[in-house]
A and B are shown apart, each in its own frame.
Chain A
């Protein structure tokens, strides 16, 4: 869990090298990502998602696809904030492992 959170924070920081948003300089659990009050616009979200998928594979060895139908139709977007997103990724990794 901690490692997933760190990857998210790391990706946000990297992304911010281009975006230069003050609130993204030191992201934490509660940093809002996308949606109401979120710091990323849809273009930045696309880059962020690709980046995360890559890092999760390279650093943790899991191949997951962050965008799926369930994620997109959830009442609470999994991309809401750092905490929600790490829980969601944890869930995805569990699921992927189940079917081998």
Chain B
């Protein structure tokens, strides 16, 4: 599905990504874990086209998309739930979800997907007329995920969906991610909450200061002494 080859990204003189390579296969949940500032967000922003890389390639279903716009990538099936949720605070829940389907023309399909999102997140259905900015953090995260699903993506990029949420809500969000995945959407999940991420991921990559330092099946990394020490608190 998605292949990132030797990706380099600079912010001025800062070399933020130093040759990242990773693959996400059809139907997988792949997680990218690492400490604050390691380059996780930058990786996702480059994959979705918000940031131009200075080197390397991004391949989606065999097509090189490195030089396409963010807009085209949405059309091709990449949907990105950004760090910090970034819902449109002054717009209603419904308007946010409609914007998720901005590039789609199939009215019936959109209505169907809207219903699906409301089934997945009943709380959003209750609050459809409410301004997104007035939702709680957890509800905003649900809205951000729902909005991303409205484009009917092949692959969903999630940037720290558990950030700032109470443990119970974190569990709920992870359950939903599993649900979405089992319904056929491939997932690339960025997390600082390594334990939770490794539990639901098929495979995982560990990123440290712009480089991938470890890769393997989620369960396997969970048992690795290095990971335990660095990311799972002993």
Physical interaction between A and B: no
